[in-house]
Amino acid sequence: KKYKPVAKKVRAVPATLPKEFRIQRNIKGDPLADMPTLSPNPPPFQPSGRYSLERRNALHKAHPSGFLTDSE
């Protein structure tokens, strides 16, 4: 397929955006206030839906030492 000729190039027209299409951000309060705090000491590994024991073993096999510490 050939390229479009320069004569058919579409150029943007500088204009202001109408008021009804503008995005209005109205954030009240602190959005991070409701987030739970994470413990710096995670619980022992428990297999879940995505991160299974097989994936964990494959990760440890691919990166044998120094990639993750015991606490990670």
What DSSP string describes 8-54?
A: G---PPP-PPPGGG-------S-TTTTSPPPPSSPPPP---SSS-HH
> Does the pLDDT value for residue 7 go beyond 80?
yes
Q: Which helix (H) or strand (E) holds 56?
A: helix 53-62
Asked whether the predicted pLDDT for residue 15 surpasses 80, the reply is: yes
Task: Kindly tell me if the per-residue pLDDT of 19 is higher than 80.
Answer: yes
Q: What is the pLDDT of residues 40-57, one digit of tens each?
A: 888 888 888 888 999 988
Reported pTM: 0.38
pLDDT at 68: 67
Does the CA dihedral 54-56-60-63 come out positive or negative?
A: positive
So what's the pLDDT on residue 54?
A: 92
Contact in structure between 71 and 41 (CB atoms under 8 Å) = yes
